[in-house]
Amino acid sequence: MARSIPITASSTTTSSSLSDFAPRARFRLSSKPSRRLALLQLGSAIPQPNLLGIKTSKLIRAEGTAQASTGVSEEGALQWAKKDNRRLLHVVYRVGDLDKTINFYTECLGMKLLRKRDIPEEKYSNAFLGYGPEDSHFAVELTYNYGVNKYDIGTGFGHFGIAVEDVSKTVELIRAKGGKVTREPGPVKGGRTVIAFIEDPDGYKFEILERGPTPEPLCQVMLRVGDLDRSINFYEKAFGMELLRKRDNPQYKYTVAMMGYGPEDKNAVLELTYNYGVKEYDKGNAYAQIAIGTDDVYRTAEAVKLFGGKITREPGPLPGINTKITACLDPDGWKTVFVDNVDFAKELE
């Protein structure tokens, strides 16, 4: 399963490397390792403390996250990050009832079930949904761990964004299907874009945005950060993203920045939100991470180290397979996995 590069998302493990989770990824389906299964297993199970309901810790601060890098200059790393062939691949999170969530996403949100896989040996299932093929569109990866029907979303994760041509009609459909509408259609605070908010069966929030036809309706992932300028600087330099726009709303005491690899009307973007005076958030154990494609996980890891990120899985092939990845944390502790583009394409064959 190509896109399941993700690992656990609990902040209780932010100082661990991906290799620390290898014993849980028991590759036993066959004598010939499966790339897709191996990648799935890195993103399926949650740490035992979370299964027991122990409260997760807060987002880590930037201090102490930077790592020394050798052999690469900042100028070289900047050039590499900007010219690398990157795009957002998928976002990973956990749900308590996979079939119920799939039905909600397909019937209410108009997504397509791209693929689904059950791994009884490892006691979890995965499903990928989106608005187009995974080799060209952003997707969600849902993970269901057997017997776990509830997760703590925390206060750090914000919402997913879906672009539609008529917010009011979409909201009425969602309401008719039994969906929960938490914000009726209307202009966004401090702006003119018509939006609404709904919740899925697990309590994840979706912002429904009104805009013209777009090739990428699944358009946003919003995360809260403790220092917006620090985050913008990190994502520009370490991840090679562009600051697409920044908007301050002093009346409502928050600022947002849209970061991505192309225009908002054609690509999924990362929306970073800073609430005045709030430096830390609880991450919970529900949201996991975003996966991003790269032409070279080794050079990407060097750039991340140089610009203040923490590498939690050194670049290289996953155990027993050839897919190369590297995993890291941003200054707030949000996790990202970079996946080799060529290897990812093989996963989808």
Query: What six digits make up the tokens of 255?
Result: 């600022």
Among the listed residues 74, 75, 134, 207, the single catalytic one is 207
Question: Taking the CB of residue 176, how many other CB atoms lie within 10 A of it?
Answer: 10
Classify residue 109 by its DSSP letter.
S
Backbone angles phi, psi at 248, to 5 degrees: -100, 135
The β-bridge partners of 119 are: 124
Catalytic residue check, 207: yes
Task: State whether residue 31 is helix, strand or coil.
Answer: coil
Ligand-binding annotation for 74, yes or no, is no
Is 159 annotated in a binding site? The answer is yes
Tokens describing residue 38: 């191996």
The region that residue 106 occupies, defined by phi over 0 for left and psi between -120 and 50 for alpha, beta otherwise, is alpha
Report whether 172 belongs to an annotated binding site. Answer: no
Residue the block writes with tokens 């979370």: 50
Decide if 285 contacts 9 (C-beta within 8 A).
yes
**Which of helix, strand or coil describes residue 226?**
coil
Strands 335-340 and 287-294: parallel
Number of H helices, E strands in the chain: 8, 16
* Separation CA 328–CA 291 (nearest Å): 11
Dihedral of the alpha carbons of 226, 232, 238, 244, in degrees to the nearest 10: 140
- Binding residues for Zn(2+), as ranges, are 141, 159, 207
Give catalytic residues, as residue numbers.
207
- Binding residues, as ranges, are 141, 159, 207
